[in-house]
A and B are shown apart, each in its own frame.
Chain A
Amino acid sequence: MSVFILTTGALIAIVLPLLTGLFIVMCPQKAARVLAIVAGVIATAATLIIWCGLAASPEEALRVSLVTIGKVEVIGFVFDRISVMLAACFVGIGLLITIYTVGYLNEGNREHPDLPRRRFFAAFIVFIGAMAGIVYSSTLVGMLVFFEVTGICSWLLIGYYGNENSERSALKALILTQIGALGLFIAVGYLFAAAGTFEVSAIASLSDFNKAVLLILILIAAWAKSAQLPFYMWLPSAMVAPTPVSAYLHGASMVKVGVAVMARVLAEAGAIPEVVGWVIVVGALATLLFSFFMYLPQKDMKRLLAFSTISQISYMFLGFGFFVFGSDLAFEGSVMHIFNHAFAKTLFFLIAGAFSYTMGTRMFPRLRGVLRKQPLLGVGFAVAALAIAGAPPLNGFFSKFAIFAGSFEAASGNWLLLAIVVVALIETVACFAWFLKWIGWVLPGEPSDEVAAAAPLPKTMGFVFVVLIIFTVVSSFIAAAWLG
C-alpha cells in the first residue's frame, strides 16, 4: 500500500509539472504563473508525502519498476533516504523560486523590466518535474531521460532574454552538457552490455574493471552538468539568465543534477575500485583551486556566486571521492551539502536578484549600507554568505565539517590524500575570509546612492526570503536527523 502511495506521489511530482508545462503553452499568458504555482504546490506536497511515507515505512529503501520491457526495467523509481530528501528539496525550492518570479519578472524590475512570457513558466515547471525525475530514477535510462529534459529546460531559460549573448550562453550550456551526457549515453550501453539491465543497483555486481569504467563514464556526465573542470565554462556564461533561473540552476537543478546522479550511483555501487576515488578527488581539487582563484577578481555579485557554486560542488565531489576511500561520513556530508547548499545558494541568488530589482544594480562597489535601507535583504545576504562560507551555526558549516571529518578519516595514513584535504581546507578558510570581506562592505554603514533610492521589496519576494532564511539555518539539522 505504501509503495502505491509513493509511486503515485512520484508520478504526480514528475508528470504533473510536465503536463502543466505543455498546458501553459496553450493557455492565455495571464494564467501561466497561476498554473505554474498550483502545479508547484501540488508537486511539492507530493514529494513531502513521499518523504513522510518513507519515514513511516519500516523499509530502508523501496523500489518500483515503472516501465519494463519483458523483465528488463527501463524506468523505475527508488525511494531511499537520499532520493526522498533531495526530491523534496529540489521541487520545493523550485516552487519558492516560481513564487519569487511572480514578483521579479514584471514591469517594476529596474534591471530588466519585462512581462513574463509563457515560455518561462512552461520551461520552469517542466524543469521542476524533471528534477524530481532525476532523483527518483532507479535506472540509468531514466536518469538519461531526465538529464536531457533538464538540458532543454535550461537552454530555454538561459536564453530567455533572447539577445545574441543569452542565445550564445544558452547554447554553450546545452552543448557542453550534451557532450558530457555522452558519458551517460555510453554508460547506459556499457551497463547493459555488461549486466543486461539498466538498473543502477546492478553496478554493484560488475567486475572491478567494468565498475571503474562505468563510474568514470558517469562521472564525466556529472562533471558536465555540475560545471566542474573541464566543462565549467557554461556556468559563468549562464549568468545572463534571469536571476530566478540562475538561482534554480545553481541552487537546486542543473549543477545539482550531476552530484545527485553521482550520489545515487555511488550509493548503489558496492565496493568501488580506488582508481575511481583518485579520479574524483583529483578532479574535485583541481576545480576547487581553479574556481577559488577565479572568484577573487569578480565584482559582479552573480559572477562571484557562479564560481563559488563551482567550488562548493567540488566539495561534494571531494566527499564522494573520500567515500570511495572508505569514509561513509564523507558521503553523508556530501549529500547533506547538496541539501544545505541548495537553500543557501538559492537565497544568495534571490538576494542578488532583489538587489537588481529594487536598486537596479548588483555590482558590489555600488552596494553599501544595505542593512539600514533593506534590513530583510541585509539579513538574507549575511545568512547566505556565512552559510556558503561555512560559518557555524549555519547549515554550510555542518555539511562541510562532515566532509572534512570524513576525509581526514579516510586519508589517514596516505600523505597524498592528506595533502589534498589540507589544501581543500585552506581554500575553505580563504573563502570564508573573502565572503567576510564582502559582508563587511555591503551591509553596514550609510546607504550608497543606489541603495538609498531602492524601491520597496515586493511581498512575494519577502515571503520567499523568510522561508529560505529559516531553512538555511535549520536545514542541516533536518538532514542530519534524517540521514542519521
Chain B
Amino acid sequence: MHVSLLMIFLLATPLTASLLMAVLPSRSVSTLVFEALHAVSVLTIVLLAGYLIITVLRGGEPIDTLGGWFYLDALGSVFVFLISALGLLTGWFSLSYLRHDLKAGSIGAVQFKQYYTFFNLFLFTMLLVVLSNNIIMMWISIEATTIVTVFLVGSYQTKLALEAAWKYIVVCTAGVAFGLYGTLLIYANAAEVLLDPAQAVLWTSLVGAAPQFDAMLIQIAFVFAVVGFGTKAGLFPMHTWLPDAHSEAPSPVSALLSGVLIKCAVLVIIRFYIIAVAALGPAFPQLVMLIIGIISVVIASLAVFSSDDLKRKLAYSSVKNIGVVALCLGFGGPLGIAAALLHCVMHGFTKALMFCISGNILMKYGTRSLKKISGIVQVAPTTAVLMIIGLFALSGFPPLAMFIPEVMAFVAGVSAGYVWIVVILGLALALIIAAFMLVVSRSVFRKAPEQLQKKDLGFMILAPEVIMVVVIVWFGVLMPGPLLKGVESATAIVMQQPDQNVLHNDPLLKDFFAAGELSGSNVNE
C-alpha cells in the first residue's frame, strides 16, 4: 500500500513545487526561495524514484495505484531512473546557469521564476508519461510535455527563440495528434474485445487482449502511433522541430529535452510496439521501426556533419541516436531490445553532459557558432577535457558508455540478418566520428582568441558535469549490476515473456545474462 502511495508522492513533488513557485510573486520573493524549492524538489524526486525502482526490481512485481491508472514496471523504471538522475544533475547545473543569465541580463526576474516553475512542471509531465498505464493519459501527458517545454524553449524571448517555440508547438501537436488517432483506434478495438470500457484504456489489459485485435486496424494504429510519438522522439521526417528547439532552449533544458524527453516518447513507442507485436507478430512492427530508424540515422548523420552550430550538431546527433534506438527495436530479439533500452540510458547521460557543456561554452564565448569557438583547452581546460570525453563518448568509442549498446546493436543486427543495415549504420557512425573529431581539433584545440579571459567556470557548473562524465566512464567500464538487471527485466516485458529472466531462455543468449550481472575477474585455472 505505502509503496503505491509513494508513486503519488513522486508525481506530486514536482507538481507541488511548480505550483508553489507559480503562486509566489517573482518580484518581491528572493531568487533564493525559488532555487531552494527547486533543489528540494529534484532531490526528493531522486530519493523517491530510487526507492520505487529498487522496490520494483527487488520484488519483480510492478506497482500500480489509483485503479491501475499509474503503473511502474521494470520497463518504466529504466526511464524513471533517467528522469530522476538527469533531473537532479541538470537541475543542479541550472542553478549557476540561470544566475549567470540573470546577471548577464538575458533573462529577468519573471523569466527566472518561470524557468524553475516550468522546469519542475516539465519533470512532472515526464514522470506522468512513464508512470501512465492509461494510454489516453499517456498521450495527454506527452502533449503536456510539449505545452510545458514550449515555454522553456521560448525562455529567452528572442526572435529566434519564439520561432523555435512556434515550430516546436505546431509540429509536435500536429504530430502527436497522430499519436492520439492511433491511441484511439487501439482503444476502440479494445473496447470491442474487452467489453469493459474501463479496462480498455489500460495498457496492461491491452497487451493481454492484443491477439484478438483487428489486424488492419492495429497496423494503421501502430503506424499512426510511431509517427505521432516519433515526432516527439525526433524521428525523421518529423524531427524538424528538434534542432531548432534544442538549440534555442537554455542549455540545461536542451540537456533534459535531448537526454530525457525524447526517451520518454521512445518509451511510449515501445509500449505500442509491445501491443503491435502481440497483435500482429513481430514482422510488421519491426519493419516499420527499421525503415524509420535507418532513414533517421542516415539523414541525421549528414546533418550532424554539415552543421556549424554546436547545439544544432548535438541536436541532430540526438535524432541519429533515436534512429539507432528505433533500429534496435527493429532488429528485435532480446539483444536488440536490451540494446535499445541501454542506448536510451547511455545516450541520455552523454547527451545531457554535452548540452550542459555547450552551456559552459556559451557562458565563456557567448556564441554557439563553431567557427568562432577555438582553443577551449586554453580558455577553460577542465571544460575542454570533459568535452573531449563527451564527444568521444558520443562517437561511440570505448571504454565509454555508448560503446556497449553500440556493440550490442551491431550484434543484434547481424544476428537478425540485417547486415546491410548494419553496414549503413557503421558508415553513418564513421561520419559522426568525423564530425565530432573536427569539433575537437578545431574548437577545443587550436589557438584561443586573444581577448578571452583564461579561467575555467566555477565549481557549481563543473561538478554536475564531472559526475556525468564519471557515470559515462563507469557505465562503460563496469556496468552496474542493478542497471543490467533492470534492463533485463525490462527486456522481458518488451518480449512479453512472463519469465523475468527472459534472456536466460533464449537459445542464443542462454548464458549471456544468466548471472544477471557482471562477475569480476573470474579466473579459471
Contacts and interface: CB of A to CB of B under 8 A. Distances in A.
Interface of A: 3-4, 7, 25, 63-72, 141, 144-145, 148-149, 151-152, 155, 159, 162, 167, 170-171, 174-175, 178-179, 181-182, 185-186, 188-190, 192-193, 196
Contacts of B414: 186, 188-190, 192-193
Contacts of B419: 186
Nearest to A155: B437
A25 B385 contact: yes
Nearest to A160: B445
A189 B441 contact: no
A71 B523 contact: no
A196 B345 CA distance: 26
Interface stretch (B241-249, B294-302, B420-428): B420-428
Contact of A193 (B415, B442, B518, B524): B415
A8 to B, nearest CB: 9
A7 B422 contact: no
Contact of B398 (A70, A71, A145): A145
A466 to B, nearest CB: 36
17 contacts: A3-B525, A7-B523, A64-B523, A66-B522, A69-B518, A70-B512, A70-B516, A71-B511, A71-B515, A151-B397, A155-B437, A170-B441, A174-B433, A182-B423, A189-B410, A189-B414, A192-B508
A152 B397 contact: yes
Contacts of A189: 410-415, 422
Interface string B392-432: 10000111000100010011111100010011001101100
A188 B433 contact: no
B521 A182 contact: no
A193 B422 contact: no
Interface of A is mostly: helix
Given A144-B407, A193-B411, A66 B437 contact: no
Contacts of A181: 426
A214 B414 CA distance: 12
Given A162-B441, A186-B410, 6 more contacts: A7-B521, A70-B513, A144-B398, A155-B437, A174-B433, A186-B422
Interface string B491-525: 00000000000000000111111111011011111
A72 B519 CA distance: 11
A363 B433 CA distance: 35
Nearest to B384: A25
Contact of B446 (A68, A162, A192): A162
Interface residues of B, number: 45
Interface of B: 385, 392, 397-399, 403, 407, 410-415, 419, 422-423, 426-427, 429-430, 433-434, 437-438, 441-442, 445-446, 484, 508-516, 518-519, 521-525
Nearest to A147: B398
A148 B427 CA distance: 15
Contacts of B427: 179, 182
A189 B521 CA distance: 24
A178 B423 contact: no
B517 to A, nearest CB: 8
A7 B522 CA distance: 11
A188 B519 contact: no
A148 B419 CA distance: 21
A159 B523 contact: no
Contact of A70 (B397, B410, B430, B511): B511
Nearest to B432: A178
A193 B506 CA distance: 12
B399 A178 contact: no
Contact of B521 (A66, A70, A175): A66
A37 to B, nearest CB: 22
B427 to A, nearest CB: 7
B410 A185 contact: yes
Contacts of A69: 484, 512-515, 518
A69 B342 CA distance: 15
A151 B430 CA distance: 12
A71 B511 CA distance: 5
Contacts of B423: 182, 186
A175 B437 CA distance: 10
Contact of A178 (B407, B430, B521): B430
Contacts of A64: 523-524
B514 A175 contact: no
A113 to B, nearest CB: 17
Nearest to B412: A189
Contacts of B430: 175, 178-179, 182
Contacts of A185: 407, 410, 422, 426
Given A189-B411, A189-B413, A175 B403 contact: no
Contacts of A170: 437, 441
B508 A149 contact: no
Nearest to B473: A22
A72 B511 contact: yes
A430 to B, nearest CB: 37
Contacts of A145: 398-399, 403
Nearest to A195: B508
B404 to A, nearest CB: 10
B439 to A, nearest CB: 11
A34 to B, nearest CB: 20
B407 A188 contact: yes
A162 B422 contact: no
A144 B438 CA distance: 23
B438 A167 contact: yes
B442 A65 contact: no
A196 B334 CA distance: 14
A192 B429 contact: no
Contacts of B519: 68
A354 B398 CA distance: 35
B407 to A, nearest CB: 6
B475 to A, nearest CB: 14
Contacts of B525: 3
Given A152-B392, A170-B441, A193-B411, A175 B434 contact: yes
A28 to B, nearest CB: 12
Contacts of B397: 148-149, 151-152
A186 B420 CA distance: 10
B212 to A, nearest CB: 34
A71 to B, nearest CB: 4
Nearest to A159: B441
Nearest to A193: B415
A193 to B, nearest CB: 4
Contact of A65 (B422, B446, B524): B524
Contact of B512 (A25, A67, A72, A149): A72
A178 B437 CA distance: 13
A178 B433 contact: yes
Contact of A175 (B411, B433, B508): B433
Contacts of B433: 174-175, 178
Nearest to B441: A167
A238 B245 CA distance: 40
A182 B426 contact: yes
Given A171-B437, A186-B423, A189-B422, A3 B523 contact: yes
B523 to A, nearest CB: 6
A170 B433 CA distance: 12
Contacts of B429: 178
Given A162-B441, A171-B438, A186-B419, A196 B508 contact: yes
Most B-side CB within 10 Å, residue of A68, A152, A155, A179: A68
Most A-side CB within 10 Å, residue of B412, B509, B516, B522: B522
A25 B433 CA distance: 22
Across chains A and B, which 4 residue pairs bring their CB atoms closest together, nearest first? A189-B414, A70-B514, A71-B511, A182-B426
A47 to B, nearest CB: 19
B389 to A, nearest CB: 9
Contacts of A159: 441, 445
